[in-house]
Structure 1
Amino acid sequence: MQDSLNVAAAAVSAEPTPRHSMTSTSSAPDSTPRYRFRSYRLAAGKMEKPWLEDKRIKKTRINNIIVLTLVFLGFAAAGVLVYFLSKPYVQGDYCLVYEDNFKTLDKSVWTHEVQLDGFGNGAFDWTTTDEKNSYVDAEGLHIVPTLTNQTTSITSDQLYANYTLDLTKDGSCTSKANSSCVVTSDPVKGKMIPPVRSARLSTKGRKSIRYGRVEVVAKMPKGDWLWPAIWMMPENDTYGVWPRSGEIDIAESRGNGRDYPEGGRNWYYGTLHWGPTHASDAYWKTSNANKIRRGTFADGFHTYGMQWTPDYIYFYIDSRVHQIEFIGFDKHKPLYDLGNFAKQTDENNTLLDNPWAKSTSTTGNAPFDQKFYLILNLAVGGTNGWFKDKVGDKPWIDDAQNAQWTFWNAAKSWLPTWGEPNERGMTVKSVKMWQAGACGSPEL
């Protein structure tokens, strides 16, 4: 009997213990009880969205609608404004009337203007026809300054005294004024032979436009006191002597370095000159400058442009999109009124007259309603204020009788900055002139 009980107990002890038995004392890691995961997903049906009833949210939505509406109206108004403001300046027909890539110098178009009096600016150069001062090569037209005592038979002593330079003898002078053609060096009077020679070329009497566009691709010169210019003058002094008949400066610069306080070869200027008298020239109302961010305008070629209509003139660099100055004309406020000349007097205390009173212009743009021709030149120094006194170690004083002398005596300071001819010169790669109007139209 006892054996039977032992066998039964052994049989019972041999049965496997249930895996999840609550009475199990096993220490196995999966013996801990686990609970079924409970889902917190919302039940199907209508869900509550209390934030939609929040008054602050509704107010924000209304504000957003108002802001977006105002933004839309702002863009619409800007579009309308741009349309009506730009409508008068829509590009019209233009006819290319002259193009020169300077493979050679076309003397049927270009004329050398030869003078030695500085052309009214007191410049220290004598403009010539010498090929050392203007020549064409693979780069284009070069206008280069040279020293008189190195490129002529005139000695350094003769520059100062006892020498007469008479350009009428060989007929080279292009001015009718004797003072522009003849000079005698005289230390007592402070007169000297121009110490520098350069060149000035123009299309006067050959190519001119009245309204249109001009583009000149050029590289500016490098060197202290060099004054390059791309500009236009009227074919006829319809309204009188300068500046009554106007002047259009497409690009002027200075060859001085970037540190020159008044703007060196890293700046260039576009300007209109106009006024009843020399002293009343109101150029400062119609002038602006452009500064290159890196390098200078002597480092490479740029396109210097001007567009001109009866309603406006603007200057640009490289692209018409990059304007540096826009001058709009107003028939209700012509240039005489813009300059406020009616309240000004001349040196005789006489009220300034209106030189454009008889103009037939209907846009108030006189004197810029006549034909203008193109000029390319490189001047040196001057006494008209382009280089201001006591700025940038300027070696001369404009009002001094011996301004040229002091400039020339300081050659050791400025001549080393000029470099080689292709650096000290202005190089012009191409010129284009368009006349407003379709090719073949009566005005052409």
Structure 2
Amino acid sequence: MFHSSQTTTADITPVRPGTPESDTVPRTNPFATPYASVPGSRFESRNASSTGLQLQEQRYFHSRRVKKGTVEKPWTKKKDPREKWVTIIPLVGLFIGLAVSGFLIWDGLKTVVNHTYCPVLEEDFSTGIDDRIWTKEVELGGYGNGQFEMTTSDEENIFVKDGNLIIKPTLQDESLINQDKFVINLMDDGICSSEKWYNCITGNNATNGTIINPVKSARLSTRSSRSIKYGRIEVEAKLPTGDWLWPAIWMLPRDAVYGSWPKSGEIDIMESRGNNWTYSQGGNNIVSSTLHWGPNAANDAWWRNNVKRKALHTTYSSGFHTFGLEWSEKYIFTYIDTRLLQVMYTHFSKPLWESGNFPLSDSNGTRLTDPWSQSGRPATPFDEDFYLIINVAVGSTNGWFKDGASGKPWVDTSPTARKDFWEARNQWYPTWEKNGQMEIRSVKMWQQKGYNGC
């Protein structure tokens, strides 16, 4: 075994085995406590001179009390004048933050008033669908968005089950689609809800690849019975699951006082998509609200106040939610479940013509003019009666579903978009089977006091 011949405290002369000294001095243990920590008396009792050990004098640490004032504190003798800003700047920032927060809260509270309302509609569908209140709109024209569904009044697509209103999209009869030159004419049947012929007639044409609407669904409105000018609306609903479904709760003006769409406005309380949460534009885990207004369709200012709200760790098709609207002459906002969870908020602090920031002329050089200036009200065109619409659309060619994203099986500009969508039915129709319908538990409408006889 190898033993070190050095220590940290003294030189030790090696002792050969068999000598007298080896009997009295033990061999050095390299794993023992260092010599410096061993009491000197242990070695003094031995014959240190005969072993050649030169032990250093043992030293001990003696503590002493430090007298107050004897420790130097150089940092107290001279202070840096900039040192105070380390405290002042955070305090100023905190004060400004509190002031701004207080102003925002005050500004919001002073504009949102607890108005008095008169009930206009309280519907729970316990007695079915009341035809005196609800209009089942039956059309083929895609409602200006190039939607693929035909809306029907059939119980296949709209019915009441377990006390809830169900709007359920279904496939068109394949045998009808395969008949060349087959025509659907709702005007002859006397059930078309539109006065425009192109919303009431459609057909198949194998030559150019056009087909009748590949899907059937439903659209319900209070157009003939209930409308409000300022007030509140709450619709408790569960949204559908299924690729390319487009559920919506929205409002249109009862009378187009300021002209054709979007001059007279549109209020979208809730819009969503039935695709799942992986869909790039947001599926049924996201809803959006917006206002549509503008001097013509090419200059619609909807994007200036479009707001999306994402569900927290869930989707809007996993359970019922209340989609609400509060609307007055000074503001309009939408909310989910509670007024505190606002989605879109628009304050009518200045005329909407100014808020839209419209160009001087449209793309063909025609000068744009303010269609609302004669009213003298900043809320115009949202100062007239609007009625409620609930529907489930399917597809579209207006950009609601982005081209080339998430496996979209048609292109908006294609003349055969309906046919392309139909031919991909084996991909998207299975996603509708589990929960491909919109369920509505209740609908409530209130009129703000002071308007419409309230």
**TM bucket normalised to smaller:** 0.7 to 0.9
User: Deviations 1:385-434 (Å, cap 9, x if unpaired)?
Assistant: 101110110000111111000000001111111114xx111111111111
> Secondary structure of the equivalent of 1:388?
coil
Aligned-pair identity in percent equals 45
Give the CA deviation at 1:380. Answer: 0.6
| In the alignment, structure 1 residue 148 sits paired with structure 2 residue 172 | yes
AA of the residue aligned to 2:449? G
Give the CA deviation at 1:325. Answer: 1.6
For structure 2, the 5+ residue unaligned runs are 1-64, 66-72
C-alpha change, 1:67 and 1:384, in structure 2 (3 Å) is: closer
> Secondary structure of the equivalent of 1:415?
helix
C-alpha change, 1:426 and 1:77, in structure 2 (3 Å) is: closer
CA distance in 2, matches of 1:442, 1:137: 34
AA of the residue aligned to 1:92? H
- Pick the aligned partner of 1:431 from 425, 443, 450: 443
Give the CA deviation at 1:189. Answer: 3.3
User: Which residues in structure 2 correspond to 1:147-226 (within 5 Å)?
Assistant: 147-149=171-173, 154-158=175-179, 161-226=180-245
Give the CA deviation at 1:338. Answer: 1.7
> 1:227·1:254 contact (CA, 8 Å) conserved in 2?
yes
- Pick the aligned partner of 1:97 from 109, 120, 141: 120
Matched residue, 2:423? 409
CA distance in 1, matches of 2:103, 2:400: 43
- Pick the aligned partner of 1:340 from 345, 349, 357: 357
> Secondary structure of the equivalent of 2:188?
coil
- Pick the aligned partner of 1:378 from 372, 381, 392: 392
> Secondary structure of the equivalent of 1:379?
strand
CA distance in 2, matches of 1:316, 1:306: 6
Give the CA deviation at 1:70. Answer: 8.8
> Secondary structure of the equivalent of 1:427?
strand
User: Deviations 1:146-181 (Å, cap 9, x if unpaired)?
Assistant: 11217xxx53412xx221111112211011111111
Tell me the matched-pair count.
388
C-alpha change, 1:62 and 1:350, in structure 2 (3 Å) is: closer
User: Deviations 1:182-225 (Å, cap 9, x if unpaired)?
Assistant: 11211223321111111001001311111111111100011001
CA distance in 2, matches of 1:70, 1:120: 52
CA distance in 2, matches of 1:414, 1:373: 32
> 1:139·1:427 contact (CA, 8 Å) conserved in 2?
no
Give the CA deviation at 1:96. Answer: 2.2
Matched residue, 2:316? 297
Matched residue, 2:285? 266
Matched residue, 1:107? 131
CA distance in 1, matches of 2:440, 2:429: 23
Moved more, 320-329 or 396-405: 320-329
AA of the residue aligned to 1:345? D
| In the alignment, structure 1 residue 400 sits paired with structure 2 residue 400 | no
- Pick the aligned partner of 2:158 from 127, 134, 142: 134
With normalisation by structure 1, the TM-score equals: 0.80
User: Deviations 1:319-369 (Å, cap 9, x if unpaired)?
Assistant: 1101112111223xx11122222523243x1111211121242xx121111
AA of the residue aligned to 1:87? K
Matched residue, 2:33? none
| In the alignment, structure 1 residue 327 sits paired with structure 2 residue 378 | no
> 2:177·2:212 contact (CA, 8 Å) conserved in 1?
no
Give the CA deviation at 1:88. Answer: 2.5
CA distance in 1, matches of 2:452, 2:228: 14
AA of the residue aligned to 2:258? Y
C-alpha change, 1:113 and 1:61, in structure 2 (3 Å) is: same
AA of the residue aligned to 1:157? N
- Pick the aligned partner of 1:249 from 253, 268, 284: 268
Matched residue, 1:33? none
CA distance in 1, matches of 2:92, 2:359: 50
CA distance in 1, matches of 2:308, 2:84: 49
CA distance in 1, matches of 2:336, 2:132: 29
With normalisation by structure 2, the TM-score equals: 0.78
CA distance in 1, matches of 2:420, 2:92: 69
CA distance in 2, matches of 1:76, 1:266: 35
AA of the residue aligned to 2:188? K
Moved more, 83-92 or 163-172: 83-92
For structure 1, the 5+ residue unaligned runs are 1-39, 41-50
CA distance in 1, matches of 2:343, 2:400: 20
C-alpha change, 1:355 and 1:62, in structure 2 (3 Å) is: closer
